[in-house]
Amino acid sequence: MRKLGLFALVLALWAAPRPASAGFFIEGSLGWPWQTNPNIYREPTNILITPGFAVFDLVSIELGFAANFAQFQQSASWGLRPMIGIRPPFMPLYGKLVFDFNDLNTSAVSSVGGALGLTFIHFSKVALFLEGDYLPRKTNGVYLNVIEARLGVSVGI
């Protein structure tokens, strides 16, 4: 019976609506990208620090600073990710339009993609989130599909 009660508590925390989040916030997340076209392979892990501003508890404007680790025979690189998010305050799901400017230290690659996320476990102005990003890229005339899983924390200021 205790396991059922614990499961119900975890489920309630996971699916609870987000608290009001108008104003400034900062997010930090770790991403694990995979390229799926033309071959499937793992890209370097990245860290994303994203300051942003939420308007009317519904729309957010964000600017992410991404740093890719040197992994998988690739050198370290950095990029920018301006984003516009739709974050309904009555549900834990959100979506983002992502403008990705990747590899700014070598050869800039830009793309427009999207992200879907789930905010869960809220403590005051701190929340954990899980996000999936789709970032299509064109490099040297080849279209690449990059799918990325992100896990992070958001703090309201």
pLDDT tens digits along 80-130:
999 999 988 778 899 999 998 887 766 667 889 999 999 887 777 899 999
pLDDT higher than threshold 80 for residue 18: no
Neighbours of 32 (CB within 10 A): 14
Report yes or no: 48 and 64 within 8 Å, Cβ to Cβ. yes
Quick one: pLDDT at residue 108? 66
Q: How far from 69 is each of 2, 28, 96, 148, CA to CA, in Å? A: 43, 15, 24, 15
Kindly tell me the burial class for residue 22, based on how many C-beta atoms sit within 10 Å of its own C-beta (0-12, 13-18, 19 or more): middle
pLDDT higher than threshold 70 for residue 29: yes
Domain boundaries, the chain: 2-156
**Range scoring the smallest mean pLDDT among 11-20, 51-60, 138-147:** 11-20
pTM of model > 0.75? yes
Taking the alpha carbons of 112, 24, 93, 147 in that order, is the dihedral positive or negative? Answer: positive
CATH of 2-156, one of 1.10.10.10, 3.40.50.300, 3.40.50.620, 2.40.160.20: 2.40.160.20
Quick one: pLDDT at residue 27? 94
- Distance between CA atoms of 31 and 44, rounded to whole angstroms? 9
